[in-house]
Structure 1
């Protein structure tokens, strides 16, 4: 069930963040991504904190990405890591190119 939920959210031309609103690294990732002009519908934050399958989702993140922590940030269908990773990609200038390569930016 968790695997199906995650896979249904991931698309080749979208950025998806799996978050918990109380997490400072989730806020960091959202703040970095808010600096970019996304096409409508190409950026989604998915709050997993109130879900009954939250632990299963995090177990699946562990299996899929090597970490069960949030945020788990996917550009297209590839996980680029968490908040610090997104911030580092932004600071290095790589993030914009990644977002352009999937066609997510206006």
Structure 2
């Protein structure tokens, strides 16, 4: 139950929620793109799953909810976006700014 509460809290309290692993190059790329948006840091929530004891449980919960087992697992405005490729695609298509500004 703790994993669900931690994940849901991060998603509901932040415009962008990222479930990441500190050593993952795709996570680093996604966090760099998000950082470049210039949002107030209070709007972006990041959990490094490899650095929290509930990490494996959170990842399993998210896999059940989103059908995505990989990281990064990104939510914008409480909606599941996907992973790094989905974020980069949304950015290149101009949808990323729309998703953020519609919040």
What TM-score do you get using the length of structure 2 for normalisation?
Answer: 0.90
The whole-number CA distance in structure 2 between the counterparts of 1:12 and 1:98 is: 16
1:74 aligns with 2:75: yes
Residues 28 and 87, structure 1, Cα contact 8 Å, conserved in 2: no
Deviation at 1:56, TM superposition (A): 1.1
Deviation at 1:40, TM superposition (A): 4.1
Q: Which structure exhibits the higher relative contact order, with contacts defined as CA atoms closer than 8 Å and separated by 6 or more residues?
A: 1
The whole-number CA distance in structure 2 between the counterparts of 1:37 and 1:25 is: 20
Deviation at 1:44, TM superposition (A): 1.9
**Which structure features the higher share of helix residues?**
2
Runs of at least 4 residues off by over 3 Å = none
Q: After superposition, where does 1:10-49 map in structure 2 within 5 Å?
A: 10-11=11-12, 14-49=15-50
How many residues align? The count is 102
What TM-score do you get using the length of structure 1 for normalisation?
Answer: 0.88
Q: CA RMSD in A?
A: 1.4
Q: Gaps (5+ residues) in structure 1?
A: none
Secondary structure at the residue paired with 1:74?
strand
Q: Gaps (5+ residues) in structure 2?
A: none
